[in-house]
Amino acid sequence: MGNVALEDLVIDNTADGLFRVNRRVFTDPSIQELERQRVFERCWIYAGHESEIPSPGDFRARTVAGRPVILARGSDGQVRALLNTCTHRGALVCWQPAGNAKSFQCPYHAWTFSNQGELIGVPGEDAYSAAFDRRELALAHAPRLESYRGFIFMSFNPAIEGLVDYLAGARDYLDLVCDQSEVGMEIVGGTQLYSMRANWKLLVENSIDGYHAPVTHQRYFEFLVEMGVDSARSRRTGAGRSLGNGHAVIESAPASGGRPIASWAPHFGEAHKGELEAMQRQFEARFGPERAYRITQTNRNLLIFPNLIINDIMAITVRTFFPRTQDYMDISAWALAPIDERPEHRALRLDNFLTFLGPGGFATPDDVEMLEACQRGFANREVEWSDISRGMKRAHPLTNDELQMRAFWRKWHELIMLSQAAEAPVRHLVAV
């Protein structure tokens, strides 16, 4: 780490209103190793959605926190995060990215595991002594797995608090997403898998950053004006909030890019106008005008610490990302939608998604460019600090202030300094 102690990586000076992050946190490989142990192995990490594995036998094999994992719904209906490594000599036992299976057979020596992880087949088992016990050789699984309204999290920390407690104030914001359907939400087919040549924490910041929108995304707002959106609607109001435990959100209105639920924009076409108004009225009947307005008219960018972003904006994207090295991250992004969404509306949602979101949209590529530009700039090691002080003296920080990032950094810093996982993380409603 050179001569910067962990305590000094973040300067949190509320008296003067200055917040600084030492840029070593984006470039130093030893920090990445600390993050592996003290962040990714201590927290609840998003693994997938129940809708991706709806039936017994369904599975998704993916990399989570650097590990090949099989997210599997067993024949008993229970979801497990099986660690995708044969308990014999280590090979991956599941080589398909998705499917339905009663068992997984390792292609190396044909050891066979049930979809619940039990070792059910060993060729030539008579070669082993009495000490060989199949029950000890089941596929390992993440010690904790819980889901909240379809969102499945896993943890390598056996002592972690329950998921609902962990979610703290973020739970209410997940509810604003999940309440958009009485039947439930589902992940839509088709995954946006991409990467950035940048540190993963830059994408945390970027995903909940209101300040950059008019500049980085100038071409998107020009597109909206081209499509007939009144440019005054781009001037939003809203708040940045800390939700406890490192979670944070920015919430704003009006939604200039439209919302499938439920705010019309000119590029939707007249045909959808009445339908969206009717939808709005249905939500008012279900929830009352105030909550209905929040659900249907406000955009929210939500961070679930450490690395789950749920942006409920011109469509809903679920985005998770992990560091491969300190200057490279892998990102997976999905669309989330009501299970009972009508086909024409689903098509509208997916179309609106692509106006902004994803590596081919009119916005995400420019975010990728900005974060990669930051990472290249970090080679100037003499410039030690990033400034994240915006709005520190405001009683009610705005979406284009940086409180939401300070919430992330304060939690990150707390965990990085904590060498013993046994200490219960302190949860406090944090200063601005």
Concatenating the DSSP letter of every residue in 341-353 gives: --HHHHHHHHHHH
Instruction: By CB under 8 A, tell whether 196 contacts another protein.
Output: yes
The residue count of the chain comes to 432
Select the residue interacting with another protein from 67, 134, 141, 197 (CB under 8 A). Answer: 197
Is 237 or 325 the residue whose CB approaches another protein more closely?
Answer: 325
Select the residue interacting with another protein from 56, 57, 194, 253 (CB under 8 A). Answer: 194
Q: Are 227 and 267 in contact (CB under 8 A)?
A: yes
* CA–CA gap between residue 406 and residue 412 (Å, rounded): 10
Bond prior to 306 in cis (omega within 30° of 0): yes
Minimum distance between the CB of residue 107 and another protein, rounded to whole angstroms?
19
Minimum distance between the CB of residue 329 and another protein, rounded to whole angstroms?
10
Instruction: By CB under 8 A, tell whether 368 contacts another protein.
Output: yes
Instruction: By CB under 8 A, tell whether 343 contacts another protein.
Output: yes
Contacts with another protein by CB under 8 A: the residue count is: 44
Helix or strand or coil: residue 316? Answer: strand
Instruction: By CB under 8 A, tell whether 146 contacts another protein.
Output: no
Instruction: By CB under 8 A, tell whether 12 contacts another protein.
Output: no
Instruction: By CB under 8 A, tell whether 342 contacts another protein.
Output: no
Only one of the segments 151-159, 327-335, 379-387, 422-430 lies at the binding site for another protein (rule: CB under 8 A); that segment is 327-335
Helix or strand or coil: residue 52? Answer: helix
Is 6 or 98 the residue whose CB approaches another protein more closely?
Answer: 98
H-run or E-run covering 242: strand 237-244
Select the residue interacting with another protein from 103, 366, 417, 425 (CB under 8 A). Answer: 366
Instruction: By CB under 8 A, tell whether 351 contacts another protein.
Output: yes
Instruction: By CB under 8 A, tell whether 61 contacts another protein.
Output: no
Cα dist from 137 to 110, 132, 146, 154, 393, whole Å: 14, 9, 24, 21, 57
Is 95 or 128 the residue whose CB approaches another protein more closely?
Answer: 95
Contacts of 22 (CB under 8 A, 6+ apart): 4, 8, 9, 10, 384, 385
* CA–CA gap between residue 404 and residue 407 (Å, rounded): 5
Question: For residue 104, what are the β-bridge partners?
Answer: 113
DSSP structure class, residue 139: P
Amino acid letter, residue 58: D
Instruction: By CB under 8 A, tell whether 51 contacts another protein.
Output: no
Instruction: By CB under 8 A, tell whether 374 contacts another protein.
Output: no
Instruction: By CB under 8 A, tell whether 207 contacts another protein.
Output: no
Q: Which residues bind another protein (CB under 8 A)?
A: 97, 188-197, 216, 218-219, 222-223, 226-227, 267, 328, 330, 334-335, 343, 346-347, 350-351, 353-355, 358-362, 364-366, 368-370, 372, 376
